[in-house]
Chains A and B, each alone.
Chain A
Amino acid sequence: MTEEKLKSLLIAFGSIFMIIFCLSPFVYMIVTSFAKQPDFLAAQTNFQFTFSNYYSVLTTKTLHFVEYLRNSLIVSAVSALLCVVIASLAAYAITRLSFKAAAVILLFTLATSMFPQISLVSYLFKFMTALGWINTYFALIFPYIAWILPLSLWILVSYFSQIPKELDKAALVDGCSYWQILYKVIFPVASPGIFSTALLAFIFAFNEFMFALVLTTDYNARTIPVGIALFQGLHGEIPWGNIMAASTITTIPVVMLTIIFQRHIIQGLTRGAVKG
């Protein structure tokens, strides 16, 4: 009896700590974005509510916040979409048309996902410079697709391998081609898995930093993480209000997606990362 009480006490305290630990920086970001001065925690100052940070971040042309956000959304969405298509084709071949190289491809892509990004960027920079793609969406979309492919492939393989093989055997007997099986049988049955994968691929692309830092030079292609990281005031001071407002506008949609699709994300992450 006492042990049960001890357990519920531990759970209660643990949960409260966990919530505070995970949320406090996020809450602090939101609160500061509404503060007239970022130093409201100092002894002599008080919190003064204002919308002016949001107003200035959305209207100050030199900050380019809107462009950064637009670039991020386009690049991440296109990368995630193409990545899921490419990964589905490969996952289908690996789970359905058993062949010897399948294991090699799977393990090899897993290894590539562990490569440090720094060992890719210098060559990518030269490559994109030679193509004249620096500071364009192409410079980001192509490496992003390659970068998030391993994760997408692993998640999709784990979903596809759960679909009973009798389903496509029946379709084969009915005279369907492999392509038809893929889009008439596999895609509809695996659509929740495909959705999870697309969502994760989007979040991964949206969070990417180093490629965007090296392969873009200004607001024409620069993404929002790099934009916010490099935000600076006209006189070298740090515009905290603007940064926090921009961060809040950017992260609220991501956080909403996470809360709404929590189940999908957890499933996808577990399938993609650990199959042990």
Chain B
Amino acid sequence: MKNKLLQNHFFFVFPLCLFVGLFILLPVLGTIFNSFFKDVSFLERKFVFLNNYKQLLIDSAFWQSFCFTILFVFVSVPLQIVLGLIFALLLNEYIPLRGLLRAVVLIPWAIPSAISARTWQLIYNYNYGLANFLWMKLGISTTPINWLGTDVGAFFALVISDTWKTTPFVAIILLAGLQAIPQELYAQAQVDQANLWQRFYKITLPLLKPIIIVALLFRTIDALRIFDLIYVLTGGGPGGATTSVSLYAYKYFLTGDFGYGSCVSTVLFVIAFLLSILYIKIGQFYKSIIV
């Protein structure tokens, strides 16, 4: 009986382990391993131990991409959380056509980001894009913004587009948190004559805090590895100003320098991995699932 049980576990779980092992775990280990080599196409592969990492420390273009990525996370993620919370509060209200409204919010999430990035590219067009059209029509300013041609313009163009794409996801997660808050608490607060702001600040926010932290960490890890949107919208430009770490590594792979590209990717991997451990710890995923 015991043996039969063991066999069953094995058969049921084996395909999963095989796929994750072969196509995720092995590639990551291969990349880490390769980061200790000088590995350029058509040249002989050579073990150089930490040389790539030493080069990385003094590579100013890498540090530029690193700083850009961190800054991008620090600006875009809080914005997405605040906006996502507002959307979640709205979606939680009993308003007409609530189902349709929820579907509308999901639309940016459902469209492949490489495709929507192409639309954003047109939106940010200097001469006839929607962004400058609104900017001038709403009377905010009379001079158009050079969105994709300047460092600051390109940065905020990316922040806005990424916020559009990812806020729905944050909203859906926070909505689940809102729905878990017992309604009696609000009823009691009403009896105590707490106003709208007090009810939000004293009940909603504290009870939602754990799930906000989970969403924050998840978004941070996701924003750190940003690639698709930047690849299409700015290509990392102008002049490398919006090159994320992922894109920086990709450019090395593209030129055939696998060793150095792997080294850059490994740095990103280590940061993401440490954060994901924190995510798993804080999220307390054990309790809910493993009985």
**Within the complex, what minimum Cβ distance (angstroms) separates A33 from chain B?**
10
Task: Pick the residue among A22, A118, A149, A240 that contacts B19 (CB under 8 A).
Answer: A149
Q: Are A209 and B272 in contact (CB under 8 A)?
A: no
> Please, which residue of chain A has its CB at the minimum distance from the CB of B222?
A114
Q: 1/0 per position for B203-231, CB-CB distance to A under 8 A?
A: 00000001100110010010011011001
Measured as residues with beta carbon below 8 angstroms from the partner, the interface class of chain A is: 35 or more
Task: Pick the residue among A38, A109, A153, A254 that contacts B122 (CB under 8 A).
Answer: A38
**Alpha-carbon gap, A157 to B215, bound state (A):** 20
What's the count of A-B pairs with C-beta under 8 Å? 315
Q: 1/0 per position for A89-132, CB-CB distance to B under 8 A?
A: 11011100111011101111111101111111111111100000
Q: Are B16 and A243 in contact (CB under 8 A)?
A: no
> Please, which residue of chain A has its CB at the minimum distance from the CB of B117?
A229
Does A173 reach chain B (CB closer than 8 Å)?
Answer: no
**Alpha-carbon gap, A90 to B18, bound state (A):** 12
Task: Pick the residue among A93, A127, A226, A259 that contacts B9 (CB under 8 A).
Answer: A93
CB under 8 Å from chain B, chain A span 216-257 = 224-226, 228-229, 231, 238, 240, 243-244, 247, 250-251, 254-255, 257
Q: Are B221 and A105 in contact (CB under 8 A)?
A: no
CB under 8 Å from chain B, chain A span 31-70 = 32, 38-42, 45
Does A78 reach chain B (CB closer than 8 Å)?
Answer: no
Q: Are A116 and B272 in contact (CB under 8 A)?
A: yes
**Alpha-carbon gap, A238 to B164, bound state (A):** 24
Instruction: List B contacts of A195 (CB < 8 A).
Output: none
Does B108 reach chain A (CB closer than 8 Å)?
Answer: yes
Dominant SS among interface residues on chain B: helix
Which B residues contact A (CB, under 8 angstroms)? 5-6, 8-9, 11-13, 15-17, 19-20, 22-28, 30-32, 34, 86-87, 89-90, 93, 95, 99-123, 125, 127-130, 133, 164, 168-169, 172-173, 175-177, 195-196, 210-211, 214-215, 218, 221, 224-225, 227-228, 231-232, 245-246, 249-250, 253, 258, 261-262, 265-266, 268-269, 272-273, 275-277, 279-280, 283-286, 288-291
| Interface contacts beyond A14-B90, A23-B104, A122-B258: sample of 19 additional A-B pairs, CB < 8 Å, sorted by A | A11-B95, A22-B105, A22-B164, A23-B107, A32-B119, A41-B133, A93-B12, A107-B280, A119-B265, A146-B23, A203-B110, A225-B115, A229-B231, A231-B118, A243-B118, A247-B115, A247-B118, A251-B115, A265-B110
